[in-house]
Chain A
Amino acid sequence: MSFYHTYEQLKDLPFQELFSKITSLDVERVLKKDRLTRDDYMILLSPAAEDYLEEMAQRAHQLTVQHFGKTMQLFLPLYVSDYCVNTCKYCSFSVDNVFPRKRLTMEEVEQEAKAIRDKGIEHIILLSGESRMHSSVEYLKECMTVLKKYFSSVGIEIQPMDQVDYEELVNSGIDGLTVYQEVYNEDIYREIHTKGPKRDYRYRLDTPERGCRAGMRSVNIGALLGLDDWRKESFISGLHAQYLQDTYLETEIGTSFPRIRPNAGGFQPNVDVSDKNLVQAMLALRIFLPRVGITISTRENPAFRDDIIPLGVTKMSAASSTEVGGYTNPDDTQSQFEISDERSVDEIRNLLHSKGYQPVMKDWQII
């Protein structure tokens, strides 16, 4: 089984035409429904639904409070290595960008862990560039022996691996996998991933499934918005999340809505994705899949992040550093992308309290 079969059925649909045919009556009908079909989801992503964002927001808010409560999970990324073998036009870690690369030693991992732990953070995601040699299973397992002492949940966002590798990582205590398809449009995918193993679209698309089968507790997917028509990309990534939810009942499926940020390669987005567009994509997904996790990163600016908290978001990062060793030695090396929201964990906690949300620092226990 693979989501690729679904993708093949979807890719040649006349999306422009389908979206443009949707009317306000269609939207009103969907907003009265309890359970949404794929077609209903498409209706909520249509230009016609733009006039109903307030109604959608009310619904999305109600569903989120019902299923997740007035809570927000906080986490931080920990970058351990920026060695990468791929050429991706939009990413600063791309092998073509020349800068001194770095991989943390175990002493440095421990220093970073302490610095993050001192902020009160319990959940982290280990990040690296995509290099089998530098962010190998052995290296990550070694990191885990250190990180276990400091955190109650550790996920990874690294190069795609085989199921057996994920199984080994799960046994070492890693419980979450994040892997973005970046762009679901296979042609654009090949255009922007010019060199390296990442060019293999199908292997990447099947990565979340390998993670689910290996026993990851949570698997997080998403499209990098700005690479192709956002309505279509959101639609396909939403169906991908639904497919994973239906196929792997044991796994908590989450999604993110990253938008392209300034980066060392100077890549310009193919498509503009406005705040309004991003909000619509998020609301439509929440109404379509009420239990899916939604993460919003520090790529977005503070004011916008504050405003979208009640619209369906369940996880946020705070005070993130996207450079290797960045918590102990800021401004030392190359960051993966520029962050917009530089507020501290305490500031984010206070903000959440003021908005009537409980910041949740711990929501798992390595057992």
Chain B
Amino acid sequence: MNDLLHIGGVSLHNRLFTGTGKFADHKEMKKAIESSQSQVVTVALRRVDINGRDEHILNDIPEHVTLMPNTSGARTAEEAIRIARLAKASGMGNWIKIEVISDHKYLLPDNEETIKATKTLADEGFVVLPYMSPDLMAAKRMEEAGAAAIMPLGSPIGSNRGIKMKEMIRIMIDEINLPIIVDAGIGKPSEAAEAMEMGADAVLVNTAIATAENPAQMAQAFDMAVKAGRMAYLSGLGPTTEKANASSPLTGFLTT
């Protein structure tokens, strides 16, 4: 199946993006990333020892993957921009996942600040992937600002609650001309499959893999689910109805 996802000049055949937080150790993280087959891995700059003084998280990320540093910890557009520039300057490539969160209770992203950061960083040549609260108008502004893909949350980050924002994400999939990557909230492989079946271009999964009892095996399960969901989407899902079709239709007498 020649079904590639193109983002920022890179062609991806795997549509599961993974993260690097919350793992019990780097070895476990590395194994999970490998068995996920993931080609894009996000890493928080705040966790990277950019002066290379300590055990380096980047050493445990397989070389073939595209690094997507994120701006975790930024509370404003300005902080996100500074973190992005630091990431680039320290050799982490030019992809950036913008996370601007000024709410420590639910960790919901601030769309307005995210739009501002997207504009500045896209103008500077970054491949910008903004993490956002699903909202069509905000996504359109991010598209106009030069985003390379849009990353709406399925549910609050780390909540493992599934795709509670389904209807909003579906509208974005229909209306936005950029890849839509469902990020955050996916707790089970079946939910990843669900996102892919409805036409999401990729999903990002971190907590559900990192906090599983066997992260490597869970990563593989997610890989399979994402592939299955994508294949189902491409196969053209049949329409579904709430009720069974009546076996004695009321208009059966209208024969030609």
**Within the assembled complex, what's the spacing in Å between the Cα atoms of A365 and B102?**
17
B46 within 8 Å of A by Cβ? yes
- Which B residues lie within 8 Å of A253 (CB)? 104
Contact call B48/A70, Cβ cutoff below 8 A? no
Q: Which residue of B lies closest to A71 (CB)?
A: B22
Chain A nearest CB, measured from B160 CB (Å): 7
Contact call B158/A250, Cβ cutoff below 8 A? no
> For residues 217 through 253 of chain A, which have their beta carbon under 8 Å from a beta carbon of chain B?
217, 245-246, 249-253
Residue of A120, A358, A363, A365 touching B25 (CB-CB under 8 A): A358
- Which A residues lie within 8 Å of B23 (CB)? 69-71, 358
**Within the assembled complex, what's the spacing in Å between the Cα atoms of A71 and B73?**
17
Given A122-B54, A246-B105, A250-B104; A361-B211 close (CB under 8 Å): no
Binary interface profile of A, 62-80, with partner B (CB < 8 Å = 1, else 0)? 0001111111000000000
Chain A nearest CB, measured from B129 CB (Å): 20
Secondary structure of the A contact surface, majority rule: loop
Contact call A249/B105, Cβ cutoff below 8 A? yes
Residue of A65, A68, A120, A249 touching B104 (CB-CB under 8 A): A249
Chain B nearest CB, measured from A113 CB (Å): 13
Contact call B24/A70, Cβ cutoff below 8 A? yes
Contact call A250/B103, Cβ cutoff below 8 A? yes
**Within the assembled complex, what's the spacing in Å between the Cα atoms of A65 and B46?**
19
Interface residues on chain B, size class: 20 to 34
**Within the assembled complex, what's the spacing in Å between the Cα atoms of A204 and B180?**
48
Residue of A249, A250, A252, A360 touching B47 (CB-CB under 8 A): A360
B75 within 8 Å of A by Cβ? yes
Binary interface profile of B, 90-110, with partner A (CB < 8 Å = 1, else 0)? 000000000000111101000
B132 within 8 Å of A by Cβ? no
- Which B residues lie within 8 Å of A360 (CB)? 47
Given A362-B49, A362-B54; A367-B22 close (CB under 8 Å): no
Contact call B104/A70, Cβ cutoff below 8 A? no
Given A362-B54, A367-B79; A69-B103 close (CB under 8 Å): no
Q: Tell me which of A353, A361, A362, A363 has the highest count of chain B C-beta atoms within 10 A of its own C-beta.
A: A362
Binary interface profile of A, 132-170, with partner B (CB < 8 Å = 1, else 0)? 000000000000000000001000000000000000000
- Which A residues lie within 8 Å of B21 (CB)? 69, 71
Interface residues on chain A, size class: 20 to 34
Given A66-B211, A362-B49, A367-B82; A250-B24 close (CB under 8 Å): no
B117 within 8 Å of A by Cβ? no
Given A245-B104, A245-B105, A249-B102; A365-B46 close (CB under 8 Å): yes
Q: Which residue of B lies closest to A70 (CB)?
A: B24
- Which A residues lie within 8 Å of B102 (CB)? 249-250
B207 within 8 Å of A by Cβ? yes
> For residues 8 through 61 of chain B, which have their beta carbon under 8 Å from a beta carbon of chain A?
21-26, 45-50, 53-54
Given A68-B22, A69-B21; A362-B211 close (CB under 8 Å): no
Contact call A252/B26, Cβ cutoff below 8 A? no
Q: List 30 A-B contacts (CB under 8 A).
A: A65-B22, A65-B211, A68-B22, A69-B22, A69-B211, A70-B22, A70-B24, A70-B211, A71-B21, A122-B54, A217-B75, A245-B104, A249-B103, A250-B75, A250-B102, A253-B104, A291-B104, A291-B107, A358-B24, A358-B25, A361-B49, A362-B47, A362-B49, A365-B46, A365-B50, A365-B73, A365-B83, A367-B79, A367-B83, A367-B86
Given A353-B25, A365-B46, 17 new contacts (CB under 8 A): A66-B160, A69-B23, A69-B210, A70-B22, A71-B23, A217-B73, A249-B105, A250-B102, A253-B104, A357-B24, A361-B49, A361-B54, A362-B48, A362-B49, A364-B46, A365-B86, A367-B86
Chain B residues with a Cβ under 8 A of chain A: 21-26, 45-50, 53-54, 73, 75, 79, 82-83, 86, 102-105, 107, 158-160, 207, 210-211
Q: Name the 3 nearest CB pairs between A and B, nearest first.
A: A69-B22, A70-B24, A249-B103
